[in-house]
Amino acid sequence: MINRRKFMSLFAIGTLGPSLVNAMSHSGTVAKVKESDDNAIALKYVEVSAVDGQNCANCVLYMASKDPGWGACAALQNNLVAENGWCLAWAGK
Which residues are at the interface with ligand SF4 (CB under 6 A)? Answer: 45, 56, 59, 61-62, 73, 75-76, 81, 85-87, 89-90
Q: Minimal distance in Å, beta carbon 49 to ligand SF4?
A: 8
Q: Minimal distance in Å, beta carbon 24 to ligand SF4?
A: 18
Please identify, using beta-carbon distances, which residue of 5 and 52 lies nearer to ligand SF4.
52
Q: Rounded distance, CA 8 to CA 16, Å?
A: 12
Please identify, using beta-carbon distances, which residue of 2 and 88 lies nearer to ligand SF4.
88
Give the pairing type, strands 62-64 and 70-73: antiparallel
Q: Minimal distance in Å, beta carbon 33 to ligand SF4?
A: 7
12, amino acid identity: A
Cβ density class 33-48: b for 16+ within 10 Å, e for less: beeebeebeebebbbe
Which residues lie below 8 Å from residue 88, measured CB to CB, with a gap of 6+?
A: 43, 44
Please identify, using beta-carbon distances, which residue of 30 and 76 lies nearer to ligand SF4.
76
